[in-house]
């Protein structure tokens, strides 16, 4: 059985990678400036991870010609997870990641 997401909580945070001040919307799981994240959850929203490693944006998911998800990999434990692309995310950076992902 697949674990369920927990209820969304709006959390603002300071990006541990670039220092940007990020306003959370309940679905925010990465910094819109640098696209980095932090390994906070085992199931999205549960804040149960003991790892707390930095998660590098390593790929994207494209549906119907649109980048809809960004893939992160934890630099500490190598855990991977996709998160939703948000309207405020840096589009040029998403495209750079998609090109790097294709070249793998």
Write down the pLDDT at residue 104: 52
**Average pLDDT value over all residues in the chain:** 87
Residue ranges per domain, the chain? 13-102
The per-residue DSSP string of 10-70 comes to ---EE-TTT--EE---SS--S-TTT--EE---SSTT----S---EEEEEEEEEETTEEEEE
Whether the model pTM is above 0.85: no
Write down the pLDDT at residue 102: 57
More confident residue, 47 or 84: 84
Write down the pLDDT at residue 74: 96
pLDDT digits (tens, 9 = 90+) for 29-75: 899 999 999 998 787 777 888 899 999 999 999 999 999 999 999 99
């Amino acid at each position: 059985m697949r674990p369920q997401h927990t209820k969304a909580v709006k959390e603002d945070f300071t990006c541990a990678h670039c220092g940007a001040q990020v306003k959370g919307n309940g679905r925010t799981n990465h910094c819109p400036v640098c696209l980095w994240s932090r390994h906070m959850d085992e199931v999205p929203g549960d804040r149960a991870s003991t790892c707390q490693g930095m998660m590098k944006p390593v790929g994207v998911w494209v549906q119907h010609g649109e980048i809809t998800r960004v893939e992160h990999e934890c630099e500490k434990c190598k855990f991977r997870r996709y998160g939703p692309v948000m309207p405020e995310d840096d589009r040029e950076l998403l495209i750079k990641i998609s090109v790097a992902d294709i070249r793998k």
